[in-house]
Amino acid sequence: MQYTNLGRTGLSISRLCLGTMNFSWTTEKVDAFAVMDAAHDKGINFFDTANRYGRPKPGVTESLIGEWFAQGGGRREKTVLATKLYGAMGDWPNEGKLSALNIRRALDASLQRLQTDHVDLYQFHHIDRDTPWDEIWQAMEVAVQQGKILYAGSSNFAGWHIAKAQGEARARNYTGLVSEQSIYNLIERTIEMEVLPAAMDFGLGVIPWSPLHGGLLGGVLKKQNKGHRRLEGRAAKTLEQLRPQIEQYEAFCVEIGHEPGDVALAWLLHQPAVTAPIIGPRTAEQLDSAERAVELTLDAATLTRLGEIFPGYKTAPEHYAW
Protein backbone atom coordinates (compact mmCIF):
# COMPACT_ATOMS: atom_id res chain seq x y z
CA MET A 1 0.00 0.00 0.00
CA GLN A 2 1.09 3.55 -0.70
CA TYR A 3 0.62 6.35 1.84
CA THR A 4 0.35 10.10 1.69
CA ASN A 5 -0.38 12.99 4.03
CA LEU A 6 -3.96 14.14 4.52
CA GLY A 7 -3.91 17.59 2.96
CA ARG A 8 -1.44 19.92 4.66
CA THR A 9 -1.32 17.82 7.84
CA GLY A 10 1.38 15.43 9.00
CA LEU A 11 -1.18 12.61 9.23
CA SER A 12 -0.15 9.60 7.11
CA ILE A 13 -3.03 7.74 5.47
CA SER A 14 -3.37 5.02 2.85
CA ARG A 15 -4.14 6.03 -0.75
CA LEU A 16 -7.42 4.14 -0.39
CA CYS A 17 -10.08 4.88 2.22
CA LEU A 18 -12.35 2.07 3.40
CA GLY A 19 -15.95 3.25 3.24
CA THR A 20 -18.38 1.55 5.59
CA MET A 21 -21.78 2.74 4.35
CA ASN A 22 -22.63 -0.79 3.18
CA PHE A 23 -22.09 -2.26 6.64
CA SER A 24 -25.43 -3.51 8.02
CA TRP A 25 -27.05 -2.84 4.62
CA THR A 26 -25.54 -5.17 2.04
CA THR A 27 -22.72 -6.37 4.30
CA GLU A 28 -23.63 -8.14 7.51
CA LYS A 29 -21.53 -8.10 10.68
CA VAL A 30 -19.38 -11.18 9.99
CA ASP A 31 -18.52 -10.01 6.48
CA ALA A 32 -17.94 -6.44 7.67
CA PHE A 33 -15.42 -7.69 10.23
CA ALA A 34 -13.70 -9.72 7.50
CA VAL A 35 -13.55 -6.66 5.22
CA MET A 36 -11.97 -4.50 7.93
CA ASP A 37 -9.44 -7.18 8.84
CA ALA A 38 -8.58 -7.64 5.16
CA ALA A 39 -8.18 -3.88 4.75
CA HIS A 40 -5.59 -3.83 7.55
CA ASP A 41 -3.87 -6.84 6.01
CA LYS A 42 -3.49 -4.85 2.79
CA GLY A 43 -2.18 -1.79 4.62
CA ILE A 44 -5.36 0.31 4.40
CA ASN A 45 -5.37 2.38 7.61
CA PHE A 46 -8.00 5.03 6.73
CA PHE A 47 -11.65 4.15 7.53
CA ASP A 48 -14.65 6.42 6.91
CA THR A 49 -18.12 6.22 8.42
CA ALA A 50 -20.95 8.53 9.58
CA ASN A 51 -23.36 8.68 12.49
CA ARG A 52 -26.32 8.34 10.09
CA TYR A 53 -25.13 5.08 8.53
CA GLY A 54 -26.88 1.88 9.49
CA ARG A 55 -29.91 -0.33 9.31
CA PRO A 56 -32.49 -0.64 10.78
CA LYS A 57 -31.61 2.69 12.38
CA PRO A 58 -28.85 5.31 12.21
CA GLY A 59 -25.81 4.55 14.33
CA VAL A 60 -25.69 0.82 13.67
CA THR A 61 -22.64 1.07 11.44
CA GLU A 62 -20.64 2.99 14.03
CA SER A 63 -21.65 0.41 16.66
CA LEU A 64 -20.49 -2.39 14.38
CA ILE A 65 -17.10 -0.72 13.94
CA GLY A 66 -16.92 -0.25 17.70
CA GLU A 67 -17.47 -3.97 18.24
CA TRP A 68 -14.67 -4.68 15.76
CA PHE A 69 -12.34 -2.31 17.63
CA ALA A 70 -13.28 -3.99 20.92
CA GLN A 71 -11.71 -7.25 19.72
CA GLY A 72 -8.34 -5.63 20.32
CA GLY A 73 -5.27 -6.72 18.42
CA GLY A 74 -4.32 -3.09 17.73
CA ARG A 75 -7.36 -2.57 15.50
CA ARG A 76 -8.14 0.91 16.81
CA GLU A 77 -4.50 1.96 17.09
CA LYS A 78 -3.84 1.01 13.45
CA THR A 79 -6.88 2.91 12.17
CA VAL A 80 -7.18 6.55 11.19
CA LEU A 81 -10.87 6.90 11.98
CA ALA A 82 -13.15 9.39 10.24
CA THR A 83 -16.82 9.88 10.97
CA LYS A 84 -19.39 12.55 10.14
CA LEU A 85 -22.31 14.47 11.61
CA TYR A 86 -25.10 16.66 10.24
CA GLY A 87 -28.16 14.52 9.49
CA ALA A 88 -30.83 14.28 12.18
CA MET A 89 -30.47 11.32 14.53
CA GLY A 90 -33.99 11.76 15.91
CA ASP A 91 -37.16 13.84 15.68
CA TRP A 92 -36.46 16.20 18.59
CA PRO A 93 -34.96 19.68 18.02
CA ASN A 94 -31.14 19.94 18.03
CA GLU A 95 -30.61 16.33 16.97
CA GLY A 96 -29.03 17.32 13.67
CA LYS A 97 -26.99 19.98 11.85
CA LEU A 98 -24.01 21.85 13.30
CA SER A 99 -25.09 23.79 16.36
CA ALA A 100 -22.65 23.74 19.26
CA LEU A 101 -25.16 21.65 21.19
CA ASN A 102 -25.50 19.02 18.48
CA ILE A 103 -21.75 18.87 17.84
CA ARG A 104 -21.21 18.09 21.54
CA ARG A 105 -24.01 15.54 21.75
CA ALA A 106 -23.40 13.89 18.39
CA LEU A 107 -19.67 13.52 19.02
CA ASP A 108 -20.19 11.95 22.45
CA ALA A 109 -22.75 9.54 20.99
CA SER A 110 -20.41 8.56 18.16
CA LEU A 111 -17.55 7.95 20.58
CA GLN A 112 -19.77 5.71 22.68
CA ARG A 113 -20.90 3.67 19.66
CA LEU A 114 -17.38 3.46 18.25
CA GLN A 115 -15.96 2.43 21.64
CA THR A 116 -13.09 4.88 21.38
CA ASP A 117 -11.97 8.02 23.19
CA HIS A 118 -11.40 10.13 20.09
CA VAL A 119 -12.13 10.53 16.38
CA ASP A 120 -9.16 11.32 14.18
CA LEU A 121 -11.15 13.21 11.50
CA TYR A 122 -14.55 14.67 12.40
CA GLN A 123 -16.38 15.77 9.26
CA PHE A 124 -19.34 18.02 8.56
CA HIS A 125 -21.54 15.90 6.27
CA HIS A 126 -23.14 18.97 4.69
CA ILE A 127 -23.03 22.74 4.91
CA ASP A 128 -25.24 24.19 7.69
CA ARG A 129 -26.66 27.48 6.45
CA ASP A 130 -28.28 28.26 9.82
CA THR A 131 -25.28 28.06 12.15
CA PRO A 132 -22.53 30.72 12.07
CA TRP A 133 -18.95 29.56 11.72
CA ASP A 134 -17.81 31.17 14.96
CA GLU A 135 -20.22 28.87 16.81
CA ILE A 136 -19.12 25.80 14.83
CA TRP A 137 -15.42 26.47 15.28
CA GLN A 138 -15.76 27.25 18.98
CA ALA A 139 -17.47 23.89 19.52
CA MET A 140 -14.77 22.10 17.52
CA GLU A 141 -11.99 23.87 19.43
CA VAL A 142 -13.49 22.66 22.70
CA ALA A 143 -13.61 19.10 21.34
CA VAL A 144 -9.94 19.34 20.33
CA GLN A 145 -9.00 20.66 23.77
CA GLN A 146 -10.89 17.76 25.35
CA GLY A 147 -8.92 15.31 23.18
CA LYS A 148 -12.09 14.02 21.50
CA ILE A 149 -11.11 14.97 17.92
CA LEU A 150 -7.84 15.73 16.15
CA TYR A 151 -8.84 17.19 12.77
CA ALA A 152 -11.92 18.70 11.14
CA GLY A 153 -13.12 18.01 7.61
CA SER A 154 -15.99 18.92 5.34
CA SER A 155 -18.16 16.92 2.96
CA ASN A 156 -20.30 18.10 0.05
CA PHE A 157 -19.15 21.71 0.42
CA ALA A 158 -19.01 24.23 -2.40
CA GLY A 159 -15.75 26.04 -3.05
CA TRP A 160 -16.96 29.24 -1.42
CA HIS A 161 -18.09 27.30 1.66
CA ILE A 162 -14.52 26.08 2.07
CA ALA A 163 -13.17 29.59 1.63
CA LYS A 164 -15.56 31.04 4.20
CA ALA A 165 -14.87 28.27 6.71
CA GLN A 166 -11.12 28.74 6.38
CA GLY A 167 -11.36 32.51 6.65
CA GLU A 168 -13.34 32.23 9.89
CA ALA A 169 -10.91 29.64 11.25
CA ARG A 170 -7.88 31.77 10.40
CA ALA A 171 -9.41 34.71 12.27
CA ARG A 172 -9.53 32.47 15.36
CA ASN A 173 -5.98 31.17 14.79
CA TYR A 174 -7.49 27.71 14.35
CA THR A 175 -6.46 25.02 11.87
CA GLY A 176 -9.91 24.78 10.30
CA LEU A 177 -10.64 22.18 7.64
CA VAL A 178 -7.98 19.71 6.50
CA SER A 179 -10.09 17.71 4.04
CA GLU A 180 -13.13 17.79 1.76
CA GLN A 181 -15.12 14.68 0.90
CA SER A 182 -17.03 15.05 -2.34
CA ILE A 183 -18.43 13.05 -5.23
CA TYR A 184 -15.73 12.85 -7.90
CA ASN A 185 -15.11 10.38 -10.68
CA LEU A 186 -14.58 10.24 -14.44
CA ILE A 187 -18.29 10.84 -15.05
CA GLU A 188 -18.99 13.44 -12.33
CA ARG A 189 -16.23 16.05 -12.50
CA THR A 190 -18.04 19.23 -11.42
CA ILE A 191 -15.73 19.81 -8.44
CA GLU A 192 -12.90 20.56 -10.86
CA MET A 193 -14.45 23.97 -11.44
CA GLU A 194 -14.23 25.42 -7.91
CA VAL A 195 -13.98 22.82 -5.13
CA LEU A 196 -10.67 21.31 -6.26
CA PRO A 197 -9.01 24.71 -6.73
CA ALA A 198 -10.22 25.79 -3.28
CA ALA A 199 -8.96 22.57 -1.71
CA MET A 200 -5.56 22.99 -3.35
CA ASP A 201 -5.27 26.64 -2.31
CA PHE A 202 -6.20 25.98 1.34
CA GLY A 203 -4.27 22.72 1.62
CA LEU A 204 -7.22 20.35 1.97
CA GLY A 205 -6.95 16.70 1.00
CA VAL A 206 -9.79 15.62 -1.29
CA ILE A 207 -11.52 12.34 -0.44
CA PRO A 208 -13.71 11.32 -3.41
CA TRP A 209 -16.83 9.30 -2.79
CA SER A 210 -18.58 7.19 -5.44
CA PRO A 211 -15.33 6.72 -7.41
CA LEU A 212 -17.05 4.22 -9.76
CA HIS A 213 -20.24 6.31 -10.03
CA GLY A 214 -22.50 3.64 -8.62
CA GLY A 215 -20.75 0.89 -10.55
CA LEU A 216 -21.08 2.47 -13.99
CA LEU A 217 -17.28 2.73 -14.25
CA GLY A 218 -16.70 -0.80 -12.98
CA GLY A 219 -17.33 -2.68 -16.23
CA VAL A 220 -21.10 -2.55 -16.04
CA LEU A 221 -21.71 -3.46 -19.70
CA LYS A 222 -19.36 -6.42 -19.54
CA LYS A 223 -21.10 -7.64 -16.38
CA GLN A 224 -24.52 -7.19 -17.95
CA ASN A 225 -23.49 -9.20 -20.99
CA LYS A 226 -22.42 -12.02 -18.69
CA GLY A 227 -25.66 -11.78 -16.71
CA HIS A 228 -23.83 -10.67 -13.55
CA ARG A 229 -25.34 -7.20 -13.22
CA ARG A 230 -28.84 -5.81 -13.66
CA LEU A 231 -29.52 -2.13 -13.12
CA GLU A 232 -32.89 -0.63 -12.28
CA GLY A 233 -34.37 2.81 -11.74
CA ARG A 234 -32.06 5.81 -11.79
CA ALA A 235 -28.94 3.71 -12.41
CA ALA A 236 -30.46 2.10 -15.50
CA LYS A 237 -31.59 5.48 -16.82
CA THR A 238 -28.14 6.99 -16.29
CA LEU A 239 -26.54 4.03 -18.07
CA GLU A 240 -28.71 4.56 -21.12
CA GLN A 241 -27.84 8.25 -21.19
CA LEU A 242 -24.12 7.52 -20.96
CA ARG A 243 -24.02 4.27 -22.93
CA PRO A 244 -21.94 5.61 -25.86
CA GLN A 245 -19.27 6.95 -23.49
CA ILE A 246 -19.25 3.84 -21.32
CA GLU A 247 -18.94 1.64 -24.40
CA GLN A 248 -15.91 3.68 -25.49
CA TYR A 249 -14.51 3.52 -21.97
CA GLU A 250 -14.79 -0.23 -21.59
CA ALA A 251 -13.36 -0.79 -25.06
CA PHE A 252 -10.41 1.46 -24.20
CA CYS A 253 -9.80 -0.45 -20.97
CA VAL A 254 -9.64 -3.67 -23.00
CA GLU A 255 -7.19 -1.94 -25.35
CA ILE A 256 -4.80 -0.97 -22.53
CA GLY A 257 -5.27 -4.30 -20.74
CA HIS A 258 -6.76 -3.18 -17.42
CA GLU A 259 -10.09 -3.65 -15.69
CA PRO A 260 -12.45 -0.62 -15.87
CA GLY A 261 -12.74 -0.33 -12.09
CA ASP A 262 -8.97 -0.31 -11.72
CA VAL A 263 -8.62 2.41 -14.35
CA ALA A 264 -11.31 4.60 -12.76
CA LEU A 265 -9.64 4.45 -9.35
CA ALA A 266 -6.18 4.95 -10.80
CA TRP A 267 -7.40 8.00 -12.72
CA LEU A 268 -8.59 9.58 -9.46
CA LEU A 269 -5.25 8.89 -7.81
CA HIS A 270 -3.58 10.86 -10.63
CA GLN A 271 -5.68 13.98 -9.96
CA PRO A 272 -4.32 16.95 -7.97
CA ALA A 273 -5.28 17.21 -4.28
CA VAL A 274 -6.87 13.74 -4.27
CA THR A 275 -5.73 11.94 -1.14
CA ALA A 276 -7.72 8.71 -1.03
CA PRO A 277 -10.85 7.63 -2.93
CA ILE A 278 -13.45 5.91 -0.75
CA ILE A 279 -14.01 2.30 -1.71
CA GLY A 280 -16.99 0.33 -0.41
CA PRO A 281 -16.31 -3.39 -0.86
CA ARG A 282 -19.09 -5.72 0.18
CA THR A 283 -16.68 -8.63 0.61
CA ALA A 284 -13.00 -8.96 1.47
CA GLU A 285 -12.31 -10.32 -2.02
CA GLN A 286 -13.45 -7.07 -3.63
CA LEU A 287 -10.51 -5.29 -2.01
CA ASP A 288 -8.12 -6.94 -4.47
CA SER A 289 -9.22 -4.80 -7.41
CA ALA A 290 -8.83 -1.58 -5.45
CA GLU A 291 -5.36 -2.63 -4.34
CA ARG A 292 -4.31 -3.12 -7.98
CA ALA A 293 -5.41 0.41 -8.83
CA VAL A 294 -2.93 1.95 -6.39
CA GLU A 295 -0.04 0.39 -8.31
CA LEU A 296 -1.42 1.31 -11.75
CA THR A 297 0.36 4.20 -13.48
CA LEU A 298 -1.51 5.91 -16.32
CA ASP A 299 0.65 7.64 -18.91
CA ALA A 300 -0.14 11.03 -20.45
CA ALA A 301 -1.71 9.51 -23.57
CA THR A 302 -4.05 7.38 -21.46
CA LEU A 303 -5.08 10.33 -19.30
CA THR A 304 -5.74 12.39 -22.43
CA ARG A 305 -7.93 9.67 -23.94
CA LEU A 306 -9.93 9.31 -20.73
CA GLY A 307 -10.48 13.07 -20.77
CA GLU A 308 -11.77 12.82 -24.34
CA ILE A 309 -14.28 10.12 -23.38
CA PHE A 310 -15.38 11.90 -20.21
CA PRO A 311 -14.62 15.63 -20.61
CA GLY A 312 -13.91 17.55 -17.42
CA TYR A 313 -14.01 21.19 -16.37
CA LYS A 314 -11.54 24.00 -16.47
CA THR A 315 -11.03 26.00 -13.29
CA ALA A 316 -13.64 28.75 -12.84
CA PRO A 317 -14.03 31.32 -14.28
CA GLU A 318 -12.05 30.16 -17.32
CA HIS A 319 -14.48 27.29 -17.89
CA TYR A 320 -17.24 29.73 -18.83
CA ALA A 321 -15.48 33.07 -19.33
CA TRP A 322 -12.13 34.41 -20.45
Which residue in the list 53, 86, 151, 184 is annotated as catalytic? 53
Q: E strands of the chain, at which residues? A: 3-5, 12-14, 17-19, 46-48, 80-85, 119-124, 149-155, 177-183, 205-209, 278-279
Q: How far apart are CA 96 and CA 140, in angstroms?
A: 16
122 is annotated as an active-site residue: no
Mark 6-45 as b/e (b = at least 16 C-beta within 10 Å).
Answer: bbebebebbbbbbbbbbbbeebeeebbbebbebbbebebb
Q: How far apart are CA 40 and CA 71, in angstroms?
A: 14
Q: How many helices (H) and strands (E) does the chain have?
A: 11, 10
- Which residues fall within 8 angstroms of residue 50, CB to CB, at 6 or more apart? 21, 61, 62, 83, 84, 85, 87, 123, 125
Active site residues: 53
